[in-house]
Amino acid sequence: MLLNENQIFWLNMERIKDSLLFSDQEFADSLGLSLKEYLKFRQAVKMLPLNCVFEFAEKMNFHFEDLLAQDFKLNSLCIKENDIPVPERYTYATYSEVLPIRNIINYLENVRGLRAKTNLIRKFQLTEEFFNRENQKANIFLISDITTYLKKTYNFTDAEFLAMGHRTPHVVKGNFLRDKLTAPKSIEEVVSCFFEECTDLFDKNYDYKIFSMHNGQAVIDATPIKHVIEELGLGMSEFSNEEACLTRLGVLSSITWYKYGKNAPVTKIASVLDGDNSNRYLFDMNPFFKAKLTLLSSPSLLH
């Protein structure tokens, strides 16, 4: 039995979907379609819109014509079990968790809508699954490229990039961070716990240390890790960009949200982008001393 072009196309598409272990919903997302649209095209054995197919083929690293060939061979990027195709630029020195990028995408969807989020994912030839997958890693180029693109496309302000980092308590999965940061009895213990036990949750590109802590302020040092710089082939002043640093500042500021319901004032006082040997942050703990005193002095707030 000879198959027509549309039948061959859908047989090949199903092979790709199965190789990626995608559900119908996940595959529809990767095509930029709703589940209803995807199922309608598949049931009718009808060719998908050309712009959709071309973008998908580019993302998966093969030519559109390949999908119409009966002897179609799955690209090596597709056949790795449980793997997700990623552009080569983001496949080495993968020491970053994708949590900070999920923050950015969550913020973008909230302020610009679902279409903006979908366009961003397409732009970087990735999938929803890539960002939602547990223990997914990326390199520092991905967050830098995304923030550069958002700055150029939407002209986001510094405050908005900071707000992206503030999404952390609302985006992070599981209770590990919540449990860790609500258990300490004081703001000093919250800060110590985070920088000594939790930074690996979002960033393995920097070595975080508490440089000092006194007079209600903590100074935090974040030094780029030598082997990461070497693997990326970068100089210190090329490590990340200002927009990505602002989202990181937002993450650090948000660590008090779990226990106190508000973000901490944090400012960057030294930067590798300016030629310093590390990023250095001033973390102001004083508002949380005042919050505690207010609570203790107002019996009505305790009931």
Instruction: Give tens-digit pLDDT for 21-68.
Output: 678 888 888 888 999 999 999 999 999 988 888 888 777 767 777 788
Q: Among residues 225, 285, 227, 226, which one has the least CA distance to residue 260? A: 285
For residue 290, the model assigns a pLDDT of 62
Per-run averaged pLDDT (10 residues), the chain, 303 residues: 81 80 83 91 91 80 77 54 69 87 95 91 84 83 95 96 96 92 96 93 89 96 91 86 96 96 97 94 92 46 37
Strand partners for 268: 281
* C-alpha separations of 183 from 31, 147, 173, 178 in Å: 43, 33, 18, 8
Where do the H-state alpha helices sit in 61-139?
A: 76-79, 99-112, 114-123, 128-132
Each domain of the chain, given as residue ranges in start order, spans 5-68, 88-169, 176-291
* Domain 176-291 is found in CATH 3.30.980: yes
DSSP secondary structure, 164-203, as one string: HHTTHHHH--SSHHHHHHHS-SSHHHHHHHHHHHTGGGT-
For the chain, first and last CA: distance in Å?
77
The position carrying tokens 């707000």 is 163
Distance CA 225, CA 272 (A): 12
Tokens of 48: 């998908």
Of 139, 141, 198, the residue nearest 169 (C-alpha): 198
* Structural tokens at position 225: 């890790």
How much is the pLDDT for 19? Answer: 66
**247: nearest Cα among 126, 156, 113:** 156
Query: Alpha-carbon torsion 49, 51, 55, 60, what sign?
Result: positive
The whole model's pTM is what? 0.70
Domains 5-68 and 176-291 are alike in CATH topology: no
Contact 218, 187 (CB under 8 A): no
pLDDT value for 202: 80
DSSP 8-state symbol, 184: -
Burial class (CB in 10 A: 0-12, 13-18, 19+), 153: middle
Chain centre distance of CA 142: 9
3-state secondary structure of 144: helix
Topology of the domain comprising 5-68: 434 Repressor (Amino-terminal Domain) (1.10.260)
